[in-house]
Structure 1
Amino acid sequence: MSELHALFGGTFDPIHFGHLRPVEALAQQVGLKRITLLPNNVPPHRPQPEANAAQRVDMLRCATETLPLFEIDTRELQRETPSWTVATLETLRAERGQQQPLGFIIGQDSLLTLAKWHRWQDLLSLCHLLVCKRPGYATEMDSPEMQAWLDHHITQDVQQLHQRAAGCIWLAETPLYNISATEIRQRRHQNLACDDLLPAAVIAYIDRAGLYRD
């Protein structure tokens, strides 16, 4: 059985337990030995980050230095153009070959708005989609066409994720963490504690760097 490589993109401004713990649970479920974190440079769907690229990478390193599951790939930070997921996946597919099983981790919120993504129809030719639950989001797509597309690609056989290079959607049973980076930034601006929301090493870095202050 081939080893499934998984990728997890995001702004990570800052990285927090709502990012880390669900994907650690996903790794247990589907047998992932490595998850590559892909920090976005110019996120297409959201406002620009408060922390700069180097600071966000530093926070990723602080968060994962004791977690061998994770590695960091900064290729999207080298681009001036928006961080289109499909373009990154095409590059990775070319590097890793057509037979390598690749998974891209998204949240349920992203799945529900997938039709707004750049060239979303091409994603499943390049990877599997591994979907983590998000609190408060619907479990059905917002159109019959998208629901039919989802139903066609869902698998409940974890072996397919390892045996096929791409094309499946896995709806993971992951724990729900109602944490957002926006909330953390707001709490920091108000001088409120965030100890239970993100790793202590990341909080220490934020303090040292003077991030998220008025």
Structure 2
Amino acid sequence: MSKLHALFGGTFDPIHYGHLRPVEALAGQIGLKKVTLLPNNVPPHRPQPQASAAQRVAMLQCAIADRPLFDIDTRELARSTPSWTVATLEALRAERGAQQPLGFIIGQDSLLTLHKWHRWQDLLSLCHLLVCKRPGYATQLDTPALQQWLVAHQAQDPQQLHHAPAGYIWLADTPLFDISATEIRQRRHAGQPCTDLLPDAVIAYIDRAGLYRD
């Protein structure tokens, strides 16, 4: 059976260490060899990005140039409709076949609101959910029924993720990085440095493109 392949969606406006480093730690914990970044076009749950689609892809390319764990899939940028995760996963599942183990990486904040996602009940039929810690968020889901759902699907051994195509939730013990793209944009507007928040190559691109100044 094929090795687990993970997917990580986001606006990436811009990509930063709060995206990259927890995922790198997750990869080390569970034996991931490849993580595909899926930049959103029309994110359903948040305001539209400030940077264009092409600029966000360029920042991703800068960020991962020396990080072979990552690659990029731009299929969601070709859509004019909202970037529903379940639709992307259905397309990927059709391409990869029924037996390819697929994981979708989310943060603890997204896990807490997963029951509000479009067709969220279908996600575990298509992939595993790989959950990274996020600072300041609850560890219990909103209702006893949701918490019971989480416990019923929680994987106890990473090998479960590699030997089943979908169906498990992995709660990763990843480092906490209190970094947000909003904070980076605010720092840029204020002319403050961001060298501790994102890769130098991304900062250099932002400078060249004149992003996040207005």
TM-score band by shorter chain is over 0.9
Q: In the alignment, which residue of structure 2 is the partner of 1:70?
A: 70
- 3-state SS, counterpart of residue 208 of structure 2: helix
- 3-state SS, counterpart of residue 29 of structure 1: helix
Q: In the alignment, which residue of structure 2 is the partner of 1:61?
A: 61
List 4+ stretches of structure 1 deviating above 2 A: none
- 3-state SS, counterpart of residue 46 of structure 1: coil
Aligned partners of 1:93 and 1:2: how far apart in 2? 13
Partner amino acid, structure 1, of 2:33: K
Aligned partners of 1:2 and 1:79: how far apart in 2? 29
Q: In the alignment, which residue of structure 2 is the partner of 1:25?
A: 25
Partner amino acid, structure 2, of 1:55: Q
Partner amino acid, structure 2, of 1:185: R
By how many angstroms is 1:31 displaced?
Answer: 0.3
Say if 2:190 is the partner of 1:193: no
Q: In the alignment, which residue of structure 1 is the partner of 2:15?
A: 15
CA-atom RMSD, angstroms?
0.5
Aligned partners of 2:120 and 2:9: how far apart in 1? 15
Q: In the alignment, which residue of structure 2 is the partner of 1:127?
A: 127
Q: In the alignment, which residue of structure 1 is the partner of 2:49?
A: 49
Say if 2:102 is the partner of 1:102: yes
Say if 2:114 is the partner of 1:85: no
Partner amino acid, structure 2, of 1:191: G
By how many angstroms is 1:157 displaced?
Answer: 1.1
Size of the aligned set, in residue pairs, is 214
Q: In the alignment, which residue of structure 1 is the partner of 2:148?
A: 148
Q: Which runs of 5+ in 1 are unaligned?
A: none
Aligned partners of 1:158 and 1:68: how far apart in 2? 21
1:35-88 deviation digits (Å, cap 9, x = unpaired): 000000000000000000000000000000010000000000000000000000
Q: Which runs of 5+ in 2 are unaligned?
A: none
Aligned partners of 1:210 and 1:157: how far apart in 2? 46
Q: In the alignment, which residue of structure 1 is the partner of 2:204?
A: 204
Q: In the alignment, which residue of structure 1 is the partner of 2:34?
A: 34
Aligned partners of 2:69 and 2:139: how far apart in 1? 28
Say if 2:163 is the partner of 1:163: yes
Partner amino acid, structure 1, of 2:134: R
- 3-state SS, counterpart of residue 162 of structure 2: helix
Partner amino acid, structure 1, of 2:183: E
- 3-state SS, counterpart of residue 104 of structure 1: strand
Say if 2:182 is the partner of 1:182: yes
